[in-house]
Chains A and B, each alone.
Chain A
Amino acid sequence: MPVALETIGLQKHFGGIAAVNGVSLQIERGARHALIGPNGAGKTTVINLLTGVLSASAGRILLQGEDITRLDVHRRVARGLARTFQINQLFLDLSPIETVGLAVSQRLGVGAQWWRMVGSNAAVVEEAADILEKFALADVMLERTGNLPYGKQRLLEIALAIACRPQVLLLDEPAAGVPEAERRDILATVAALPADVTVLLIEHDMDLVFSFAQRISVLVNGALLLDGAPDEVARDARVKAVYLGEAAHA
């Protein structure tokens, strides 16, 4: 299987601390890959490096075989890499339809048009409404995002990433902070993602991880401890030690 996303010796230093220390990952196209690890292991830092929010101190990042290590955040999105944020990063004053519409029009290359009215491009509006429909947000699509309940905001967060029609999707704890009752929606959405989209999931919820992932990477203190099939990881003594050890201290 071709490799959709790859890192080679990825490193990130803050002052004297190596938050990410030589991480080499290979994620196959269409994979359902999970990245797990104790708090502070560096998982979100890895996502930030992959998307370009942080620039790597060393190492390379390859998307569909092409080097994107030095690319700006928005260019990586154009190349097919999208993400969601652990803490909702939304445009609170805009409505869901405006938000998704932005992503869609940007993807279609018409995001910078200054002479037509927002909403006059039928293709954009249709697709945006469609996406919101799929995420059960159609009924609130004209509301101010900041007024929506957290669960709906979280769904919008994912919808927004999907609107970029990514080939590789990075989900940073999609179920975080979502009430139990609404978790099912999130899980169902994640499970229903198109098969050709490569998904890298960061999660603490182990049920979600093991039901979703075909492959799991374990990150500890900025380095990869283990990379393998779910049952391999579940059985591994070191992984247990890292998690149990954490529980013992807690």
Chain B
Amino acid sequence: MEYVFWAVALASLFLLPGQHLILTEIAWLGLFALSLDLILGYAGIISLGHAAFFGLGAYVAALAAKHGIIAEPVLALIASGIAAALLGFATSFLVLRGSDLTRLMVTLGVALIMREIANQIPDLTGGADGLQGVRIGPILGVFEFDIFGHVGYAYCLAVLFALFLLARRIVHSPFGLSLRAVKANPLRGSSVGIPVNARLVAIYTLAAGYAGVAGALLAQTTAFASLEVFSFERSADLLLVLILGGLGYLYGGLIGALIFKFLQDWLANLTPQYWQFWIGAVFVLIVLLGRERMGSWIRRALPRPKGV
């Protein structure tokens, strides 16, 4: 079943050239949601500020290109991922202790601080108007970005696939199993010798790195970055994306991104200015109807990560 998913994705590269721009958005949004799944679906950490890492990745990539620090996009991508991972590592100790509410507050706070930092150095970040004049070099020195988004989509899809494979490896490993245990019962986890905090720091750092890469993809495919990459709406919408697809089985983020983008597109066509209202209504409805029920029919179609 998994092969079908990726076969379809690959096919869309060749068969749906007119949709590549929106598919590109779905690709990096899917990666962003995947990164949230790693911490929320697998480690049980609620975050309202995941955009902090996304935004940092976006700005690192955009600035690297604009100022010619790193002209080649893939290298810039790696740099963004590392930068975001470092931020994740630095802030990971904040989410180790405390209740869910504390984690919400703290992650929100970090994202707000990042946004404020970006706001306070407009010479560097372009402030509220965003970073202008960003020119992205050709990928690996060979593939120029084109205005139809073909190269962009192929690029995003390739990155998504590679990182997905890595994530898949990790969650099916002993490390991944220990994460599930820690999420299920941290007390028991530590009582059988699992260093709970170390595991959480590791996955939080990795997830932050993934989010940073997603942000870099956004910046590179649109040649733009603005304060909005750190916004609360982005973190909140991300939660919805992941919830739509379902937590804890890796494909949730990708499927959720698909659903969310189509939903958003359709709503924006209906009410160009007020689609946020209907997104809000979707949030409310999903909770009222029950997340589990909504996600379960999707999950039955795809394999759950099995143990032995």
Instruction: Write the residues of chain A forming the contact surface with B, with a CB cutoff of 8 angstroms.
Output: 51, 53, 72-75, 77-78, 82-83, 85, 89-95, 97-99, 101-103, 105-107, 110-119, 121, 124-125, 142, 160, 163-164
Chain A residue nearest to B169 in the complex (CB): A115
Q: Are B174 and A110 in contact (CB under 8 A)?
A: yes
Chain B residue nearest to A78 in the complex (CB): B193
Chain A residue nearest to B172 in the complex (CB): A117
Distance, CA A73 to CA B190, complexed state (A): 6
Interface size on B, residues (CB 8 A): 28
Q: Are A97 and B308 in contact (CB under 8 A)?
A: yes
Instruction: Write the residues of chain B forming the contact surface with A, with a CB cutoff of 8 angstroms.
Output: 169-170, 172-178, 180-181, 184-185, 187-196, 198-199, 202, 307-308
| Contact residues of B: prevailing secondary structure | helix
Chain B residue nearest to A113 in the complex (CB): B174
* Chain B residues within an 8 Å CB radius of A124: 174
Known interface pairs A90-B185, A114-B170; A83-B191 also in contact (CB < 8 Å): yes
Distance, CA A207 to CA B184, complexed state (A): 35
* Chain B residues within an 8 Å CB radius of A107: 193
Distance, CA A91 to CA B176, complexed state (A): 14
Q: Are A74 and B307 in contact (CB under 8 A)?
A: no
Q: State how many angstroms separate the Cβ of A99 from the closest Cβ of chain B.
A: 8
Distance, CA A164 to CA B194, complexed state (A): 11
Q: List 24 A-B contacts (CB under 8 A).
A: A73-B190, A74-B190, A77-B191, A89-B188, A89-B191, A91-B184, A91-B185, A94-B180, A97-B308, A98-B177, A101-B177, A101-B308, A102-B181, A102-B192, A106-B193, A111-B194, A112-B175, A112-B202, A113-B173, A115-B170, A116-B173, A116-B174, A119-B307, A119-B308
Known interface pairs A73-B191, A78-B193, A102-B192; A111-B174 also in contact (CB < 8 Å): yes
Known interface pairs A98-B308, A106-B192, A114-B169; A93-B184 also in contact (CB < 8 Å): yes
* Chain B residues within an 8 Å CB radius of A95: 307-308
Distance, CA A160 to CA B193, complexed state (A): 11
Q: State how many angstroms separate the Cβ of A148 from the closest Cβ of chain B.
A: 15
Q: Are A89 and B185 in contact (CB under 8 A)?
A: yes
* Chain A residues within an 8 Å CB radius of B169: 114-115
Q: Are A94 and B193 in contact (CB under 8 A)?
A: no
Given A82-B191, A91-B188, A102-B177, 17 extra CB contacts under 8 A: A72-B190, A74-B191, A74-B193, A77-B193, A89-B185, A91-B181, A91-B185, A91-B189, A98-B307, A103-B193, A105-B174, A106-B193, A111-B193, A113-B173, A116-B174, A118-B177, A118-B308
* Chain A residues within an 8 Å CB radius of B199: 112
Distance, CA A69 to CA B68, complexed state (A): 55
* Chain B residues within an 8 Å CB radius of A119: 307-308
From A102, A105, A142, residue with most partner B Cβ within 10 Å: A102
From B173, B192, B307, B308, residue with most partner A Cβ within 10 Å: B192
